[in-house]
Amino acid sequence: MTRISDTPPAWDERTQLTTFLDYARDTARAKCEGVSVENARKAPLPGSPLMTMSGVINHLRWVEYYWFQVVFLGEEDQGPWTDEDPDREMRVAVDFPLPQLLDEYTEQSSRYRELVAGKDLDTPAVRPIRDGRHVDLRWIVLHLVEETSRHNGHLDILRELLDGTTGA
């Protein structure tokens, strides 16, 4: 797997936050290097039928969409989930080849990197979160670092169970 670095090129807050988000994103992609299309669709954990490598990558993609476009920018939610199927983004991921999901995630990450670069970290989100508060862009980036890093642990476990690959 590709070796990546989480050392920021500068020490200001924005650079540190975006470096760690990019590091977590790159780590997710690195964990998928060389996995077969077939293995990417398998759910090896008996209690988690939606937990596939494809499902995790698609989930990460749609989580960023939700936080940046729906919450921060206030756009209409066009996500794949429904009240009846709140995890649909993980379920439908097996219908697409992993390389396609990774390409879409990479392209979207680039757009969101530009969005973050062009806004003040103190900018409040247009939409409130469940408790009615409006988080700021800083909180959203920190949340996505946490979310992506947590799911990288899932990708580690899935990959090792599927083909024995560890690392990155």
pTM over 0.85: yes
Q: Using one digit for the tens of pLDDT, what is the confidence trace for 20-31?
A: 999 999 999 999
Tens digit of pLDDT for each residue in 86-112? 999 999 999 999 999 999 999 999 999
Please name the residues in contact with 72: beta carbons below 8 A apart, sequence gap of 6 or more: 115, 123, 125, 126, 127, 137, 140
Checking if the pLDDT of 127 tops 80, the result is yes
pLDDT at 3 over 80: no
Asked if 13 and 120 touch (Cβ cutoff 8 Å), the reply is no
In the chain, where the domains are located: 17-163
- Name the fold adopted by 17-163: Four Helix Bundle (Hemerythrin (Met), subunit A) (1.20.120)
